[in-house]
């Protein structure tokens, strides 16, 4: 079993990747109001995700890692942002509504956690947070992609997270942790595991918040 497999199996993985939000998404019963709430908070999280990725690139130990993280940074600040603007227009969210939202406390806690981890400047811990967040997305979106949707913004949101480029990126993230994790001290491995676990937990709570 790989290092990342062990991290996944020790976390609340099913709670995040098979949450009721995911099940409703997959069977087509997800209410637009719930998805709208989710998407507004996720848009706020997008900027933080870009900052965390940039900080990881700054702390990466070699040029290849810097380059790969920088490529993903371009995706976060480009293609995904375009989707959000089109989806918000379709869902009736004003520009002020998504640029200056009243964030749910869970979203604020999630953003704060990810940035605090990344600002410590320890590559493996930041990598654990990014890997957990992106891998959760890949897992539940692959599951949801088995269904067909009559709302383009549901269909396209899944598509963004199951394309080959994103699958390859998650595989690369996992490969980085699988290579570096086993070489860490017991204390550092525990720290990486705690970051991974907390990120997965917050992903599940993020779905909860969409209903609140």
Which residues, 6+ apart, have CB-to-CB distance to 211 below 8 Å? 21, 34, 37
pLDDT of residue 121: 87
> Which parts of the chain have pLDDT scores under 70?
79
- pLDDT tens for each residue of 141-157: 999 999 999 999 999 99
What sign for the dihedral angle of Cα 91, 77, 98, 33?
Answer: positive
CATH number of 3-210: 1.20.910.10
Q: For residue 74, what pLDDT is reported?
A: 86
The pLDDT of residue 76: 82
Q: Where are the domains of the chain?
A: 3-210
Which of 169, 174, 172 is CA-nearest to residue 196? 174
Asked if 35 and 84 count as a contact pair (C-beta separation under 8 A), the reply is no
Reference 180, options 72, 69, 62, 70; nearest CA is 62
- pLDDT value at position 157? 95
Question: Please, what sign has the CA dihedral across residues 45, 75, 201, 115?
Answer: negative
Q: What is the pLDDT of residue 79?
A: 63
82-158-39 Cα angle (round to 5): 55
pLDDT number for residue 97: 94
């Amino acid at each position: 079993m790989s290092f990342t497999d062990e991290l996944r199996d020790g976390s609340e993985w099913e709670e995040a990747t098979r949450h009721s939000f995911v099940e409703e998404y997959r069977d087509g019963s997800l209410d637009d109001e719930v998805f709208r709430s989710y998407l507004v908070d996720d848009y706020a999280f997008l900027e933080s995700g870009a900052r965390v990725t940039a900080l990881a690139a700054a702390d990466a130990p070699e040029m290849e890692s810097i380059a790969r993280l920088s490529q993903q940074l371009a995706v976060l600040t480009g293609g995904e942002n375009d989707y959000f603007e089109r989806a918000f227009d379709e869902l009736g969210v004003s520009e002020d509504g998504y640029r200056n939202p009243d964030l749910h406390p869970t979203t604020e806690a999630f953003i704060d956690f990810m940035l605090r981890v990344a600002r410590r400047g320890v590559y493996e811990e930041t990598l654990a947070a990014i890997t957990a967040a992106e891998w959760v997305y890949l897992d539940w979106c692959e599951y949801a992609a088995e269904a067909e949707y009559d709302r383009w913004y549901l269909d396209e949101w899944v598509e963004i997270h199951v394309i080959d480029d994103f699958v390859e990126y998650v595989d690369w993230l996992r490969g980085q942790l699988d290579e570096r994790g086993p070489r860490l001290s017991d204390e550092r491995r525990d720290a990486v595991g705690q970051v991974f676990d907390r990120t997965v937990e917050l992903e599940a709570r993020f779905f909860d918040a969409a209903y609140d």
